[in-house]
Amino acid sequence: MTTRTDWFLKQALELSVEERALLAEQLILSLDPQADADVELAWQEEVARRLREVDEGRARAEPWEAVRARLRKSIRARP
């Protein structure tokens, strides 16, 4: 990384979690400003479908910490 990039990273890491998330979102959007409307709509529909499943009891939510621990264990078990 360049000195300038290092400076920006240091500044960004001092932001709150919410501010960093917003900054990350804006940086990612800047890489592909021509978002595909069909893809965006499909994601919105998928999120709505998943929320309905949780609300109706057909799916269950799991804490991120448990999912992360299971994934790490699975990765470590790979040859």
47 and 25, same structural domain?
no
40 and 76, same structural domain?
yes
30 and 12, same structural domain?
yes
41 and 67, same structural domain?
yes
Cα–Cα distance between 44 and 8 in angstroms, integer?
A: 32
What's the full length of the chain, in residues? 79
74 and 52, same structural domain?
yes
Q: Residues 1-8: what's their mean pLDDT? A: 91
What band does 37 get if pLDDT is binned at 50, 70 and 90? confident
- Overall number of domains in the chain: 2
Q: Residues 15-43: what's their mean pLDDT? A: 87
Q: Which domain holds residue 25?
A: 1-34
pLDDT computed for residue 64 by the predictor: 94
pLDDT at 62 exceeding the cut of 80: yes
Rounded to the nearest 10°, the torsion over CA 43, 51, 71, 17 is 80
pLDDT computed for residue 43 by the predictor: 92
69 and 47, same structural domain?
yes
20 and 52, same structural domain?
no
pLDDT at 34 exceeding the cut of 80: no
Tokens 């991120």, located at residue: 64
User: pTM higher than 0.95 for the full model?
Assistant: no
